[in-house]
Structure 1
Amino acid sequence: VNIIGKDLSSGQTLTSYVGPGPPPTTGLHRYVLLVYKQKAEILDTEWGDKNRASWSAANFAKKHDLGDPVAGNFFQAKNAVQ
C-alpha cells in the first residue's frame, strides 16, 4: 500500500505474500490479484496473517474508499497430491 507514483520501493507491506497451498483432494482453487488506485494513505493496522482466511478484498476496498480495481490477474492451482 501507499506506493507513490510508480516507485514500488516507497510502498509498505501489510502482510507477506504466501503462495497457493490448497489442501489435497480439493481440486482447483482460484487466486485473484487486484490493483487499486488509492485516494489517500492507508494506515491499516488491523490486517495480519491471523486474518488471512476471513479477509475480504471487497470490504477492504470499501473501508478505504478504493473504488473499482484498475488492474487484476488470476490463476488456478491444485495440490499435486490428489
Structure 2
Amino acid sequence: MAASGDPLLVGRVIGDVFHDVACMSTGKEIVPYLGPRPPIGIHRYIFLLFQQKVPLGLVEQPPTRASFNTRYFVRQLDLGLPVATVYFNSQKEPAAKRR
C-alpha cells in the first residue's frame, strides 16, 4: 500500500453528475495532473474520488510530490470518506534490463 508521503498528487477535482447512462461533466481543474514518474521498481498510484460539500477555492500546490500528505489534504477540506477509489501499478526497469 502506498504511504501518504509517496508520490501522489490530486490531479483534478471533478464534479460529474451521473443519471443512468448520461453524464454531465462540470469539472474544473484545480491543480494540473502529473502522470506517474516512478523511480526504479513497482509503485502503486491511487486515485480517490470525494463528494465535495462546497466548491473548492484556491488549493496550494505542494512544491514536490513527496511533500503531499493525503490525510492532511482530506482533513483540511473536510472531504470525509472517498466515494470511489481506483489504483494502478507502474514499473520502471533499470536501464540495463529495458527491452
Q: Please, what TM-score do these two structures have when normalized by structure 2?
A: 0.65
Larger helix proportion of the pair: 1
In 2: Cα distance, 1:2 partner to 1:43 partner = 13
Matches within 5 A, 1:19-38: 19-24=35-40, 27-38=41-52
Q: Does 1:17 align with 2:33?
A: yes
Query: 4+ runs of 1 displaced by more than 4 Å?
Result: none
* Identity score, percent: 33
Q: Does 1:44 align with 2:58?
A: yes
User: In the comparison of the two structures, how many residue pairs are matched?
Assistant: 78
In 2: Cα distance, 1:40 partner to 1:69 partner = 15
1:31-63, CA deviations, whole angstroms, 9 ceiling, x for partnerless residues? 100000000111133125x24221122111111
Bigger-Rg structure (1/2): 2
Q: Please, what TM-score do these two structures have when normalized by structure 1?
A: 0.76
Runs of 5+ consecutive residues of structure 1 not aligned to the other structure: none
**Partners of 2:14 and 2:29 within 8 A in 1:** no
SS in structure 1 of the partner of residue 17 of structure 2 = coil
Runs of 5+ consecutive residues of structure 2 not aligned to the other structure: 1-12, 19-23
SS in structure 1 of the partner of residue 74 of structure 2 = helix
Q: Alpha carbon RMSD of aligned pairs, Å?
A: 2.1
